[in-house]
Structure 1
Amino acid sequence: MGSTFEPNRLNRRDLIKRAAALGAVAVPASGLLSACAASGGGTGQQETGTKSASNPLGVADSASLDVVIFDGGFGDAYAKQFEKLYAKEFPKSKVSHTATQNITGLLQPRLNGGNPPDIVDDSGNQQIKLDVLQKNGQLTDLTPLLDAPSIDDPSKKVRDTLMPGTVELGTVGGKFVTLQYVYTVFGLWYSGKLFSQHGWSEPKTWADFISLGAEIKKTGIAPFAHQGKYPYYINVAIVDLAIKNGGTDFLNRLDQMDPTIWDEDPAKNAIEAIYEIVSNNYLLPGTNGMTHIESQTAWNEYKAAFIPCGAWLENEQLKATPSDFQMTFMPMPSLSGDKMPFEAIRGGANEPYIVPKAAKNANGGMEFMRIMLSKAAATAFAQTANSLTVLKDGISPGVQLRPGTQSTVTALKAAGSNVFNPTYLTNYSSLDVDMGNSSADLMANRIKPAQWLSQVKAAAVKAQKGGA
């Protein structure tokens, strides 16, 4: 999904993200795999230790810890640093580390066999959907983690150290079952160097965006690229335009899966705006069939001016990004009549970490999360994965950030309270899958906006009824 959503995903990237808040790319294949999640129970007894001030979750000090990490936009080097912090606290424990891009392929057989890992970064385009896992009773209730003392300040509970919305986004089916660890913003990205060379300015309105696209096209550069193989990314752009246009009313009804919103002006305005990219022939040739890496690399090669993505983009593209590229983030441009300002952005917790209910060392999995929510771990993540976490003021003073990451910090400050984060990706994951199929057709000009709206409304009705 990167991520979540990436496309974690929410899910993002190779994602979801990547989304959500993102977390995870939703493609038909992964949707089918998720729908087949079985509810295999554990066959072994869980290992527990004695609770104390230094061991509030009751971890058995000699119990091994099995860690599985999605090796996507954030890589897995950061997790090895977390594991060192865990091993320091529990030196008798054997910590195993597995990195994969195929979470379903690795995790599903272990869930079915009753011997799952103790903690999993359940992200990527092969993510097992959280709502599916929760319905099957396969997730540990993480409320004890929230009520445990913070490592940095034991007078505070962990829940009091988290960015707003983290608990809500981690709640599925009424229970807090996933730690969405990465604080990500979503929007458009461009090269500061390219824009400076051509004298282009960041477009704050959609009309300016379309006008600038004509100027960009004259130089032989495509105005827009997207991760066509994973339509989660373009879904985020479409939905964010609609949310900014319709305001909190549209956002709330979207999360409540009210299908009538797709008959109304915010949705129409958003999809018609995105279709202008198609009708003006602004797309990078071939982008509709590209993976996230292929399209993002072409963008890094100055073949396209804009690309939509979450804040994992910089770390995911480190090897492909020229040193003087000046990666820069911006909010989605404003549509006429928007109820939210230009500075409003999608931002919030994503990249879901879970503790399977049948995990042998479930307490260790939660303690690993508690360590993740320390300043030492949050700073290590910022330096290693070039992204922020959900820990408030989590980065130690003096830490230098890369240009793209710094631009997201700047954008967050500018947004102030105008930060939104839809939850439908977690609670109604089938909508993103179906919307993605329609978006892929729209971007390929196989359907028009009216058809997209009709299909997405039908998908919302299905999701509302619990369709998979």
Structure 2
Amino acid sequence: MPNTPQISRRELLRGAALVPVAGALAACATPASQPAPSSAAPAATSAANPFGVGDKPLEVWIFDGGFGQAYATDIHQPLFKSKYANVEIKHNSTKEITKVLQPRFAGGNPPEVIDNSGANFMDFGALSQDGQLQDLTPLLDAPSWDDPNVKVRDLLDPSVVEIGTYDGKFSVLGYVNYIHGIWYSQKVFDDNGWEIPKTWDAFLELCETIKKSGKMAPFTYAGKHPQYLYEPLLTMAAKIGGNDVLVNIDNLEDGAWTAEPMLTAAEKWAEVGAKYLMQGTAGLDHVQTQTAQNKMQVAMLPCGSWLENEQKSTTPEDFAYAMFPLPDVTSSDAMPYGTLHTQPGENFIVSAKSAHPQAGMEYLRAMLSKKAAGDFSELVTTVTTVKGASEGRDISPGVTSASKAVADAGENTLYYRWYTWYGPLNDEAKAATGQLMTGGLKPKAYLERIQKKADEIKNDSSITKYKR
């Protein structure tokens, strides 16, 4: 990497208005010299209008990724308009959230609602530190859209509130239950007599069998977006050493990245990188690798439960998506077979300094109705964080498989938060993981590189620290 001058996070935030910056490293803030716009004076509140939505426009930005944007234009926005016909909705979408919206925050005129997702989502920690995130606690205590006798918080998986809380305030709404695992075609496995591996040795044996068959490559991942690979690496490390492996990483504990379970996991995945990757993986993005799987060019890849919908235009009708959890590394793993990484994702925020944040919160309240969440689940073949919203719905094979995996995991589920708390650490981990998988970094050096960045962040007093 080229040498770059070291600047504090606050300087980075304040400099955002002066230079265009792309990627998660770019934090978002209102420059000190730029006055924030005055928020809309709220209308009278009532049970039907708990936040006091007025007549000012509502600007919505959707990440145009695995779930597309039709759910917003065809489900959520018409539902909102059914109650607020006088509020103009300005709908927008982009694949580059930070690149497009970071200047808006820097300029002091952010939109109301943002689906802050994708490979280049905005740094939640920086947004929180700079007072850009609307406190959504009133949303939790508001009556639900469907039933005034039920509070919104009672519809949500409790992890949504826990993971969406920054500096003691609930400010990030995870709308989708992301379920991570190794994805494959049930048809391909059935046709070839390949069985789901429950141990790491069996996984390597399966990779070798597939490789020797000459039919397809054993494994791939989104080479241009290495977070797709650090996800199973971290999950494996936690499975080996227990949940504290991830808690220590989140909390910037000394040596958390270089702990023994992390080294074992890095060594295991480096071996996959050296022996079993589809040719050209490093230069491909998520859609290209996933499409290669649809074309029967590769057998397995790590992904989340948005995969099936993202690939619906290229998936053969009888492909039958399915997923399995990471295999046991040894019989002495701290967590049992079936342990999963699952946590709320597709994160929505309301801009505290937008012109009409009241409408932004009401838009989220509409999204959290059982009808909106159920229609969303059916349209984009996934599961939301709204309890029971998918009941009685026509759910796809992949989502059925992922949902069963979650049920089988029970309490043995994992999550981590460092990547949304510390954007620069996420950038460093992605870059280093790419090098690990191509042989550019050995496992020990890989972890030392990320640990160095974690230590820099820990020792930077300008960066707000978060704890689990």
TM-score greater than 0.5 by the shorter chain: yes
The counterpart of 1:439, out of the listed 433, 441, 445, is 433
Instruction: Give 1:308 shift.
Output: 0.6
Counterpart Cα distance in 1 of 2:272 and 2:345: 28
The AA in structure 1 aligned to 2:349 is: I
CA spacing shift, 1:291–1:413, aligned 2, 3 Å:
same
CA contact (8 A) 1:41 1:113 kept: no
The counterpart of 2:442, out of the listed 437, 443, 448, is 448
Pairing of 1:136-147 with structure 2 (within 5 A): 136-147=130-141
Counterpart Cα distance in 1 of 2:199 and 2:83: 52
| 2:255 equivalent to 1:260 | yes
Task: Tell me the SS of whatever aligns to 1:260.
Answer: coil
The counterpart of 2:273, out of the listed 240, 265, 278, is 278
CA contact (8 A) 1:47 1:63 kept: no
CA spacing shift, 1:140–1:375, aligned 2, 3 Å:
same
CA spacing shift, 1:422–1:126, aligned 2, 3 Å:
closer
Counterpart Cα distance in 2 of 1:258 and 1:380: 42
The counterpart of 1:428, out of the listed 417, 422, 429, is 422
Instruction: Give 1:226 shift.
Output: 0.6
Counterpart Cα distance in 1 of 2:161 and 2:65: 24
Number of aligned positions between the proteins:
438
Partner of 2:51: 57
Task: Tell me the SS of whatever aligns to 1:190.
Answer: strand
The structure with the larger Rg is 2
Partner of 2:303: 309
Counterpart Cα distance in 1 of 2:421 and 2:270: 28
CA contact (8 A) 1:235 1:432 kept: no
Task: Tell me the SS of whatever aligns to 2:374.
Answer: helix
The counterpart of 2:352, out of the listed 327, 342, 357, is 357
Partner of 2:184: 190
Percentage of identical aligned residues? 39
CA spacing shift, 1:126–1:31, aligned 2, 3 Å:
closer
CA contact (8 A) 1:38 1:136 kept: no
TM-score by length of 1: 0.90
Instruction: Give 1:438 shift.
Output: 1.1
Instruction: Give 1:92 shift.
Output: 1.5
Task: Tell me the SS of whatever aligns to 2:61.
Answer: strand
Pairing of 1:399-414 with structure 2 (within 5 A): 399-414=393-408
Partner of 1:390: 385
| 2:79 equivalent to 1:79 | no
The AA in structure 2 aligned to 1:59 is: V
> 171-180 or 227-236: which moved more?
171-180
Instruction: Give 1:41 shift.
Output: 4.4
Instruction: Give 1:29 shift.
Output: 4.9
Instruction: Give 1:224 shift.
Output: 0.5
CA spacing shift, 1:404–1:38, aligned 2, 3 Å:
farther
| 2:366 equivalent to 1:368 | no
The AA in structure 2 aligned to 1:189 is: W
Pairing of 1:57-136 with structure 2 (within 5 A): 57-60=51-54, 62-80=55-73, 81-136=75-130
The counterpart of 1:345, out of the listed 336, 340, 343, is 340
Structure 1: runs of 5+ lacking an equivalent = 1-27
CA spacing shift, 1:284–1:41, aligned 2, 3 Å:
farther
Counterpart Cα distance in 2 of 1:96 and 1:58: 19
Counterpart Cα distance in 1 of 2:26 and 2:262: 30
Counterpart Cα distance in 2 of 1:168 and 1:38: 30
CA contact (8 A) 2:114 2:349 kept: yes
